[in-house]
Structure formats: structure tokens, C-alpha cells
Structure 1
């Protein structure tokens, strides 16, 4: 028990757990062989028709499914390095909320604006970028945070530009994850670094909820129009 408590206090435990689950799911896919893609797409990929039919868990499960080794390797690197920094700044439970709710935000936007089936942790990874940009905006006077924010902002822009010129990438999922993470950063706060103005947190929460509801309505409407 002491060892577990020390691990929880000293390590980015949530990041490690998320990464462990993601890798474990991928190993299951790999062990299942060539049919794994079809199986996992059937039960967990973001599929608009299935979501409209009541399979709400498809807003969550795509974050833990990947189409190949390169896909999971790239996302795994982001989860590990960004997750460590975000967890150190926000804390364990806020990190979990940012990752899960940010990833769900990305899948909700994809549901509204993209008809393609998709999988991958990229929606949640972009949420981590968004959460760091919240820190940058809120604590810009800190020179270290300002420098890191500029670097992450450039990296985020380059990733989005790359998305625009690449096939098979769910850019709306990435944009939704980024926006969701940015707003959630305000809602959750960063007490380990400093205080965010209450008005900012309230406005961000209202915008986030209204955005979710509007995108869900749009998604269900679009599915009904295509039936």
C-alpha cells in the first residue's frame, strides 16, 4: 500500500494508466489478427449511424482504438509527454477529466461535422494541447509558461495544417478536442499554478455545454437527413 501511495504521489499515475490501457487494447487488436479492425469498428469506432441509434459509448471508445502501429506510436508519445506535463500542472483527477471530456468533445464535433468513421486518441491528445494553451493565456506573465505556450501553440498549428493536407484524418475531431480542452482548462482550474478568474471559468463552462448541445443536435439532425 505504501508503494502504491508513493507511486500515486510521485508519478503521473493517470497518464501511465491511460497509456497502459491504450497499449493493452492495441495488443488485443494485434492478437486478434486481421479481423480486429472490423471487430473494433463494429463495436467501438465513432460511427454516426450507430450513435444516433443509441450507442452513446462511441463518443468514448474511439479514444482507445488505433488502426496500426504508427497510429498508436504517435499518439502514445503525445499522451506520455503531454500527459506528464498536464498532470503535473492540473493534478491527477483534473488530468483524467481533461483527457476524457476533451476527447469526448472532439468526438462530438466529429459526429456533427464528419460522416466518416474514426478511431484514435488524437481527440484527447489535442485536448491536452488545448489545456496547456489555457495555462498560457491565464498565466502569460510567467516567462517559462509563456515560452512553453509559444512552442505548443506552434506545434498545434503545424499539426492542424498537416491535418488539412492529409487523407484519412478526422480534422474536426482534432479541432473539437482542442477547443474542448481549452474550455475545460478554465472550468477545472489550475490551483497548483494559480487562480483563474471566476467569470472566465463560468463563461467557459456555459460555452462548453452550449457547444456540446448544439453539436449533438446538429449531428442527430444530419444523420436523420441522410437516412
Structure 2
């Protein structure tokens, strides 16, 4: 493999493909092998976290979906948006954003939703990608390509919130948590080549606010079941 081929391979959105592959595998196993209790052990379910100490449920719901439409829509959005954001932020930053915001969204759902509610879906992490893209819009406000993508993603964001107001199956708190987490994590980790230098004070403040939200959600969530 020559240097050009190595660089081309390195620039591929392999984490986006990895997450797509994982949620596709989980969906197919649940669809064709329904007797395997994957979903019951992977979705967000407060009592299992509090009383059975199944803390992995703050992360695993990102890879589970309820039905074909739920899986298909989230997979399309992940493919379209993930490959672009992974290219802009870089692989490591993208990995941190996707998993970190997915956890943040599930934490907020755990804290503020009705006790005992069941929730799952990659939309928590997808809204986190939206949030991180807001940071791109701030730092590259004069870049026409970035501005166009920000407008497209913002439109999707508004429509998703609008539908969520009328669809009780949509986890609004999970979306809010993912969005807030995306803004904070995106601002904290920064870009590989920012248009201007990040203020260290803003980055530290973003980390502190993120930590505050994590602690608040954990305390409030566990208190509900106390």
C-alpha cells in the first residue's frame, strides 16, 4: 500500500461505518432471533439501572431501535451526517462526540422522564452530532459549505422536535440531552484545525458544565427511585 492509498483509507469514515454495522447487526439479530433477549438487556430502563446496577444501559440504547422505520431513519441520518462530521472533526473526536452525547442523552432521559419508561435509539447521539455541528457553524460562519450544512441540519432538528411534540414514543429529553452534550463536547475537544484559537477558559467552562449535567442527571435519576 502506497502513501496515497494509506491516506485515502485513513480519511474514510470508518467509525460511522462501525456504528452503522453494530446497530444493523443488533437489529437483524433482534428481528430474526427474537427469542434472544438482546433488547430487554440493552434498552434504557431506569429500574434495571438503579436496582440491578446495569449501568451499561446508559450506552447500549444507542444501538437498539424499535422497529424497521425507527432503525432505517436513524441509519440514514447517521450515514449522511456521520461521514461529514467525522471528516471534519477527525476519527477520535467523532468517536468521543458520538458515544459521549449518546450517554448524555440517555442520562437526561433517565433523570427527567417518567420512572420506568423504556427508551432506545441512536437519535440521542445523532442530536449530539447536531450539537457539535453548531460549533462548526460558529467557527466557520463564513464558509458557504458549512453554512449550507448547518441550515440543512437545523431544519431537520426543528422538524424532529416538532414531530416529538405530537409523538409520545419520541424521547424528547434524550434528544435535548444529546443536543446539549454535543455543543459542550464539541466546544471542549475543539477542531483539528480551527478557524481561530479556542479560548482555554471556554473549553474548561464547557467541560465543567458537562460534568455538572452528568452529576445532576445521576443524582436526580437515582433520587426518583429512592
Query: What's the TM-score once normalised by structure 2's chain length?
Result: 0.91
Work out whether 1:134 is the aligned partner of 2:132: no
For residues 111-190 of structure 1, the aligned pairs below 5 Å read: 111-115=110-114, 116-190=117-191
User: Is residue 89–residue 193 contact of structure 1 (8 Å, CA) maintained in 2?
Assistant: no
SS of 1:196's equivalent in the other structure is: coil
**Cα deviation digits, residues 40-87 of structure 1 (max 9, x gap):** 342111011111121110001111111111111000011101101110
Distance in 1, Cα, partners of 2:118 & 2:2 = 44
Distance in 1, Cα, partners of 2:8 & 2:139 = 30
SS of 2:44's equivalent in the other structure is: coil
Partner of residue 59, structure 1: 58
Shift of 1:2: 7.2
Structure 1: runs of 5 or more not aligned: none
Partner of residue 105, structure 2: 106
For residues 45-84 of structure 1, the aligned pairs below 5 Å read: 45-53=43-51, 54-84=53-83
Distance in 2, Cα, partners of 1:2 & 1:48 = 51
Distance in 2, Cα, partners of 1:7 & 1:68 = 36
Shift of 1:10: 3.0
Segments ≥4 residues shifted beyond 6 Å:
1-4
Name whichever structure is richer in helix by fraction: 1
Instruction: Give RMSD over aligned pairs.
Output: 1.9
Work out whether 1:31 is the aligned partner of 2:32: yes
User: Is residue 105–residue 124 contact of structure 2 (8 Å, CA) maintained in 1?
Assistant: yes
Shift of 1:119: 1.1
User: Is residue 7–residue 13 contact of structure 1 (8 Å, CA) maintained in 2?
Assistant: no
Distance in 2, Cα, partners of 1:5 & 1:218 = 48
Structure 2: runs of 5 or more not aligned: none
Shift of 1:147: 3.2
